[in-house]
């Protein structure tokens, strides 16, 4: 094996190990939303206020965050991601596409104070949604709307549910977080 082959193999091993470790920590791999899901999320996002920041809670490799930053060049888009290599890749994407309005934070959003925002977007897992619901209940960040790919908030009624035209008819949930009446009794 040449030194170059060895270096590539070692790097692949380190990246895979880091991704597996972080996925075990947060309960989900950095699998990106499908193209259909991304299109539907962008469509659903149009119902949010026309001004204000957009947060992506767990932005993975940054594809959706970049689309949002390109669609809304005059708005701040902030992505949170805990996994090192997906985050580094998203920084590269941001640099290549010159998305100056995109801020990518290597940070656990659950332990962060979320800034006021018109919209937050996530694609987590049931446990992650339970933790997010608790954070929203206890900290009451000023976020008007939440769009969640596939997984529902356990304690709120969605304003709308889109169904993707895929084999699972995957749901995309839209919540108004400012409406107390949407909190399940
Ligand atoms: C299924 S991926 C979705 C990626 C992207 N949002 C998309 O839709 O294409 C979920 C991502 O959320 C990240 N994540 C999960 N919990 C997190 C947390 N508490 N803080 C920051 N990132 C988190 C994971 O590391 C993973 O990269």
Q: What spatial distance separates the first Cα and last Cα of the chain, rounded to whole Å? A: 63
Query: Residue 87's Cα: distance from chain center in Å?
Result: 12
Q: How far apart are CA 66 and CA 31, in angstroms?
A: 16
| Atom from ligand 1 closest to the CA of residue 60 | 27
pLDDT digits (tens, 9 = 90+) for 22-70: 899 888 999 999 999 999 999 999 999 889 999 999 999 999 999 999 9
Q: Is 78 helix (H, G, I), strand (E, B) or coil?
A: strand
* Overall pTM surpassing 0.85 (yes/no): yes
Q: Where are the domains of the chain?
A: 29-182
Q: Does residue 83 contact residue 91 with C-beta atoms inside 8 Å? A: no
Nearest to 101, CA basis, from 81, 76, 70, 79: 76
Counting ligand 1 atoms within 8 A of each CB, the residue from 28, 40, 105 with the most, and so the one to mutate, is 28
Angstrom CA distances, 155 to 4, 13, 73, 132, 165, stand at: 52, 40, 33, 11, 26
Burial environment of residue 178 by CB neighbours within 10 A (0 to 12, 13 to 18, 19 or more): exposed
Instruction: Supply the residue whose CA is at minimum distance from atom 12 of ligand 1.
Output: 58
CATH topology of domain 29-182: Rossmann fold (3.40.50)
Q: Around Cβ 130, how many Cβ atoms within 10 Å?
A: 15
How does pLDDT run across 80-90, given as a tens digit for each residue?
A: 999 999 999 99
Mean pLDDT of the chain: 95
- The ligand 1 site (C-beta within 6 Å) comprises 22, 26, 28, 30-33, 56, 58-60, 63-64, 80-83, 86, 108-110, 123-124, 128, 149
Tens digit of each residue's pLDDT (9 = 90 or more) over 121-175:
999 999 999 999 999 999 999 999 999 999 999 999 999 999 999 998 999 999 9
Is there a contact between 63 and 93 (Cβ–Cβ < 8 Å)?
Answer: yes
Q: 181: pLDDT confidence band, cut at 50, 70 and 90?
A: low
């Amino acid at each position: 094996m040449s030194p170059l082959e060895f270096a590539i193999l070692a790097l692949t091993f380190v990246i895979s190990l880091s991704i597996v470790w972080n996925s075990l920590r947060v309960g989900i791999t950095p699998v990106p939303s499908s193209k259909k899901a991304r299109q539907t999320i962008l469509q659903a996002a149009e119902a949010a206020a026309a001004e204000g920041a957009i947060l992506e809670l767990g932005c993975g490799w940054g594809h959706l965050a970049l689309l949002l930053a390109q669609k809304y060049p005059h708005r701040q888009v902030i992505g949170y991601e805990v996994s090192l290599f997906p985050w580094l890749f998203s920084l590269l994407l941001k640099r290549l596409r010159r998305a100056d309005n995109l801020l990518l934070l290597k940070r656990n959003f659950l332990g962060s104070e979320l800034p006021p925002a018109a919209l937050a977007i996530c694609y987590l897992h049931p446990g992650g949604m339970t933790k997010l619901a608790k954070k929203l209940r206890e900290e009451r960040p000023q976020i008007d709307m939440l769009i969640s790919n596939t997984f529902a908030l356990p304690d709120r009624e969605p304003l709308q549910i889109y169904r993707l035209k895929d084999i699972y008819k995957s749901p995309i949930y839209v919540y108004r977080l400012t409406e107390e009446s949407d909190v399940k009794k």
